Amino acid sequence: MGTRKTAAKKSPAGETPAPAESDGHYRVYWPRTRRRAALKPLAQRPQSLAGKKIAFLWDYVFRGDEIFGILQKELSDRYPGMTFVNYAEFGNTHGSDEHQVVASLPNKLKELKVDAVISGMGC
Amino acid sequence: MCEEAGVPASTLCCEGFVGLAKATSIGLGMPTIPVAVVPGHTNVQSTLELRSNVLETTLRNVIDNLTTQPEAGVFGDEPEDGAMVFEGSFEAVNDHFVEQEWSDGLPIVPPTRARIEAFLAHTDEPPEKVLGVMLPDSRAATIWSVAVNGVMAGCRPEYMPVLVALAEAMADPYYGVEHSGNTPGGETLIIVNGPIVKELGLNYTQGVMRDGFRPNTSIGRFWRLYLRNVAGFLLHKNDKATFGNTWRVVIAENEDCLTKIGWNTVAEDMGMARGANAVTISRHTGGNLSVSLSGDVRRDMLPYLADSVVRQVNWQIMFTVGQGMGTLRPQVLITPILAETFFKAGITKQDLKQYLFDHARMPAREFERILRDWTLKPTWDLVQEVRLGTIPKVFAESDDPNRMVPIVWEPNDYMIAVTGDPMRNSAYVFGHNGILGYPVTHEIRLPKGWKTH
C-alpha cells in the first residue's frame, strides 16, 4: 500500500498554522555495556577416557540420575578402568545453596582427582 | 567452573535448551564449550525412549565433548560503553533498536545525550560506576546504562534514584537474576516504599497493578528493558520462559493506612527503617484475586485468605522442601479497608503472618505426593527430612499422613503488602518462584538537593 497524502487540517483564520509533521533527528546511545567476562581457554581434553575418573554433577531435576546410570554403564563397557564419582558427593548445583556448591567445585574436583565432568540437566 | 579449574566437562541439555546453552556460554567467556544433547524432553519420554535417545545421541556427544579439543572461542565486536550507536528519525531509531534486539517491541524514547544527562543529574553517582555484573551476559550494571534504559522506557528523569536502586537489587546475589530466563517464566513484582511514593506520584490505591500511571508503568517497563539489555535475557536465546508474561506494573504501599494502624511496611519487614525510601523485588509466576472477603474476621475472612494462599501453591512447594529448602515467600496484597478491619479485630501484621503459617496448610500426604509425583524430585519424605535435620520439625510433629503441614518454614516467610482500592475488601495472592527470584530490598538513595519538579 502506498503512502496516502491527506490535506492538512486548516487552522482558523488569523491563527498560526501548525508546523509540518516532523520525525526529528536523534543521535542515540548504546543501551548495553561491554561484557566483563574475558575469553577463557577450555580445559585440555584427554585422547581417551580409558582409566579416567568421571564425576557427575546434577541439579536434581529432569531425570539426570537415570541418564547418569545409563552413561556410567555404557562408558564402563567401552573404556577399561573408568571410575565414577556420584553427584551426591557435590550437592545440588541448582538448589538453595547453589552458590556454595558451585564455588566449592574446583577444590573438590582436585581433592577427588577427577579427570572429567558430566553435568546435567538443562531442560 | 569445571573448565576454569582445568577439568573438561560435558553439559547435558535437552534439545530445546541447546540455543540457550550457546547464548549463555558467550557470557561465561567460553563460546565454544561443547554440549551433549538429549533429544526431545526427558520428562515426556518412557524409560525405553529415554534410554534409546541417550544411547543413540547423548553418549556419542559426551565422548566427543570429553575427548575432542574444541576450537578457541572469539567474541563478536561490540561498541564501547557509552558509545553513540545510531542517528536518524524517531522511526529509524526505533527500527534500528528493534533490529539490534535492544527494544521490547513498543516504541522507545530515543536515548539522546541531553535526555541521558537529565537522568544523570538525578543521582550523585558517577556514570561509570558499576553496581554489579550480571549473568548470563556478564555485563556491568552502570549508572550510565541505567539512565539510557530509563530514557528508553519512558521514565521521567526524577525516577532515576528508583531505577538505580532497582539495578542494584537486580544484581543482588540473593535475588538470583541469573534464573530470570528459566522455564516457569515468572515476572518480578516491584514494591516501592517511602515518601518517594507520593513525591513521584506513584499509584498506591485503586487499580494499583494496572498501567495508567506514568511512574508505575514506565519503571515496570524499565525493569524488563534492563533485564534484556544488560542482564541479557532475550527470548529464543537466554530467556526460555515456557509461556512468559509481560512485565508487571510497579506497585506502592498505602503508608497512610499502615501508619494509621501501626503496621510495618514491606520494606520495614525486610530490615529498612520507617520512612526510608526503598524498593523490594520478588519474582512470581502468577497470582489470583480473592474477591470480597466478608463476614466475621476470624470465622470467615481469615479462613478464606488462608485457603487462597494454599490454592496458589502446588509445584512451588519444591521451594519449601527440596530444590529450594525454605525459600518460598508467598506475597499477599490486602486492601486498606481489610487491613483496618483486621486491626480493629485486634490482629497485628505479625498475627496475620502467624495465622497464615498455622492455617494455610495441606495434609502431609498431599504435600509429599505433589513433590514425589509432580515435581519428580528425590526429596519428598517429610519425616525423613526432619530426622536428617534438613527441614523444621513442624513438618513431622507426628507420622500421621493426614497431619496438616505449613507451606513455608516460618511465619515471617509471608510477605504482606497493603495497597489497592482503599474501599474494596479483596486480596491478591502471588505464586512465588523461590530461589528463582528471592525477595530483596534496596534503599533508594536521593541526590543532594533532591526535588522532583
Query: pLDDT at position A98, please?
Result: 85
Contacting residues of B for A100, CB less than 8 Å apart: none
Q: Between A1 and B136, where is the model more confident?
A: B136
Q: Which is it for the CA torsion A62, A66, A67, A72, positive or negative?
A: positive
- Record the cell numbers describing residue B332, joined without a space: 499477599
- Record the cell numbers describing residue B33, joined without a space: 564449550
Nearest CA in chain B to A24: B89
**Spatial CA neighbour of A29 closest among B161, B71, B413, B112:** B112
Contacting residues of A for B324, CB less than 8 Å apart: 95-96
| Mean pLDDT in residue range A81-88 | 96
Closest CB from B11, B84, B435 relative to A122:
B11
Which of B32, B66, B144 is the mutation pick for testing A, counting most A CBs within 10 A? B66
Closest CB from B51, B142, B324 relative to A33:
B142
Residue A82, C-beta contacts closer than 8 angstroms, at least 6 positions apart: A49, A50, A51, A52, A53, A54, A75, A76
CB contact under 8 A, B89 and A25: yes
Q: Cα(B7)–Cα(B33) distance, rounded to whole angstroms?
A: 12
CB contact under 8 A, A29 and B116: yes
Nearest CA in chain A to B435: A96
Query: pLDDT at position A11, please?
Result: 45
ipTM, two decimals: 0.93
**Spatial CA neighbour of B413 closest among B397, B394, B399, B426:** B394
Nearest CA in chain A to B139: A35
pTM confidence score? 0.91
Query: pLDDT at position A122, please?
Result: 86
Query: pLDDT at position A6, please?
Result: 41
- Record the cell numbers describing residue B28, joined without a space: 561465561
- Chain A contact present for B131, CB below 8 A: no
Question: Which residues between 79 and 98 in chain B have a beta carbon less than 8 angstroms from any beta carbon of chain A?
Answer: 79-93, 97
C-alpha pair distances (Å), A38 with each of A32, B26, B30, B76, B233: 17, 10, 9, 12, 20
CB contact under 8 A, A36 and B152: no
Q: Cα(B307)–Cα(B296) distance, rounded to whole angstroms?
A: 16
Runs of H (alpha helix) within A6-97: 64-78
Query: pLDDT at position B377, please?
Result: 66
Q: What is the pLDDT of residues A17-74, one digit of tens each?
A: 555 678 899 999 999 999 999 999 999 999 999 999 999 999 988 999 999 999 999 9
Distance, first Cα to last Cα, chain A: 45
- Record the cell numbers describing residue B349, joined without a space: 501484621
Strands B251-252, B139-142: parallel, antiparallel or unpaired by DSSP? unpaired
pLDDT under 70 in chain B at which residues? 377, 453
Runs of H (alpha helix) within B121-174: 143-153, 160-170
Contacting residues of A for B83, CB less than 8 Å apart: 29-30
- Record the cell numbers describing residue B305, joined without a space: 485468605
Mark residue A14 as left, alpha or beta (left: phi above 0; alpha: psi -120 to 50; beta: remaining).
left
**Spatial CA neighbour of A76 closest among B59, B6, B2, B10:** B59
- Chain A contact present for B109, CB below 8 A: no
